[in-house]
Structure 1
């Protein structure tokens, strides 16, 4: 090479003060010229150079956001919130695929074997899916991002809402789409909505006391036991789907939601068996 970057320009380059178009020429030349790189190393401030390498390492080590996280950020969701949402286990394709498969089989059976005025199998199963989705979103045994979630500088109740609302909405939407595949039953196929809200709200309200696994398991078991014990009323309808049963479900949903909100501070101060225990004052241990 017959041209090399001047020493003054190399000093300015090391300080980050070199401006285009000289900067562009220096970048291109340094990539191919060992002599100029050696001079640059001599004139560079070792501290500034080390800091630059550290910034480069940090940039290279930053995990690349996935499709869902990038989409959430583009829609205006904060970076840390988008990461917590994207890391929710039950928003992954495997869980969603399983839910879709279960609903598809249930709808098929309900349409193929119609022996009642309402799709009993679908109505028995649909309220459990939102409860299961919320339950599987938390706890060290089920959530691979549990440690990241509990140490995030976020109030426990807000963190719970960040993880619960998208899961609940997603499963309710899938249930709604499955309901559209049961047109012959009319509005009776929508009877699952109030029981689903009642079961989910009750599970969340009991979580601070019983933990993220036992609480929904107890609620789900109670629902199954209720269906088995009551079976069908004289009108040929599952008891929770009568007018009285729907009224009870609405009352339970409202009561459980109120208790859940009133006990929101327990998610930062309850015993270690709960999902956010031991992390007080917004996530600090």
Structure 2
């Protein structure tokens, strides 16, 4: 069957309709494919029985598939280790997991470690311990606000519960942030376990900031929590008069931080439904307004 003039068999009309609808099964499908490549008459008949709307829909699906952005390195790695596609896309778009933010965090931690080494007269690296808890708090706060989140509009209209979206981002940011803090802690081996005194305050600050977010918004809540932490450190410094370990980093202070973290976690669970994007007034957050 090299051309129409020598073709004595043509695809039956009903088979052409099945072919156009994608319902023709082998081996007739293979025979029709071979014949259509050589027979202009059957191709014209196929065009006549094909649904133009279905054809347009097929082209639209193809265009949509071609327009889908290719996954980056982080997203590909997340998918490879078993993270769902949509979750990997959401994590990969988290602003504070980008190189610029991570580089800034690393730079700040390096400077505080250097400062701790330059003031070895202290019994603990106070500057490092004061700053380290603020970094996870800031990272979580910046990970779901409309100003920096490229997927903010998608999150607002998503049928997924707002609390689940928040927790996905929070776990990712905390994992990276606490991991970087932990690596910086390894650079302070001479202080022993005292260099880990930032961990419980970090969890307490982050949990409190999240628990207050439905009421105050993702800008004001972490700002107030961070300000309260700085005020607490200033008061502790004044009390200590430059001698000894600051109160938040003593055994008693660590116990208070653990209690605050537990209470904040419980409160966060109680207010989880208020993170639903359909009810939480996110539109005010871009201006720092309270919800």
Please tell me the TM-score bracket, short chain as reference: 0.7 to 0.9
Pick from 194, 203, 206 the counterpart of residue 200 of structure 1.
206
Aligned residues: 274
Structure 1 residue 185 displacement after superposition: 1.0
Task: Specify the SS of the correspondent of 2:82.
Answer: coil
Query: What is the TM-score normalised by the length of structure 1?
Result: 0.83
- The range that moved more, 138-147 or 231-240, is 231-240
Which of residues 213, 235, 245 is equivalent to 1:229?
A: 235
Q: Per the alignment, in what secondary structure is the counterpart of residue 11 of structure 2?
A: helix
Cα 1:47/1:7, change in 2 over 3 Å: farther
Counterpart of 2:175 (choices 165, 169, 178) is 169
Q: Give the whole-Å Cα distance in 1 for the aligned partners of 2:27 and 2:117.
A: 70
- 2:130 is the counterpart of 1:115: no
Aligned partner (choices 132, 135, 142) of residue 136 of structure 1: 142
After TM superposition, the score normalised by the length of structure 2 is 0.82
Give 5+ residue unaligned stretches, structure 2: 287-291
Contact 1:209/1:270, CA 8 A, preserved across alignment: no
| Structure 1 residue aligned with 2:157 | 151
How far apart are 1:61 and its partner, in Å?
A: 2.1
Residue 49 of structure 1 is matched in structure 2 by 55
Equivalence for 2:289:
none
For residues 92 and 38 of structure 1, do their structure 2 counterparts lie closer, same or farther at Cα, with a shift above 3 Å needed? farther
Secondary structure, in 3 states, of the residue corresponding to 1:229? helix
Q: How does 1:70-109 map to 2 (within 5 A)?
A: 70-109=76-115
Deviations 1:173-209 (A, max 9, x none): 1101110011111111000001111111110111011
Pick aligned residue for 2:259 from 242, 251, 258 = 251
Pick from 8, 11, 15 the counterpart of residue 8 of structure 1.
11
Q: Partners of 1:252 and 1:92 in 2: how far apart?
A: 30
Q: Deviations over 1:154-179 (max 9, x none)?
A: 11211111111110111011101110
Q: 1:199 to 1:123 in 2, by over 3 A?
A: same
For residues 183 and 23 of structure 1, do their structure 2 counterparts lie closer, same or farther at Cα, with a shift above 3 Å needed?
A: farther
Q: 1:127 to 1:55 in 2, by over 3 A?
A: same
Please give the alpha-carbon distance, in whole angstroms, between the structure 2 residues aligned to 1:141 and 1:200: 20
Q: Distance in 2 between matches of 1:33 and 1:108?
A: 79
RMSD (Å), alpha carbons: 3.1
Structure 1 regions of 5+ residues with no counterpart?
A: 276-285
Question: Aligned partners of 1:97, 1:23: CA distance in 2, in Å?
Answer: 57
What's the secondary structure of 1:144's corresponding residue?
A: coil
Against the structure 1 CA distance between its residues 134 and 39, is the aligned structure 2 distance closer, same or farther, given a 3 Å change threshold? same
Does the 8 Å CA contact 1:267/1:274 hold for their aligned counterparts?
no
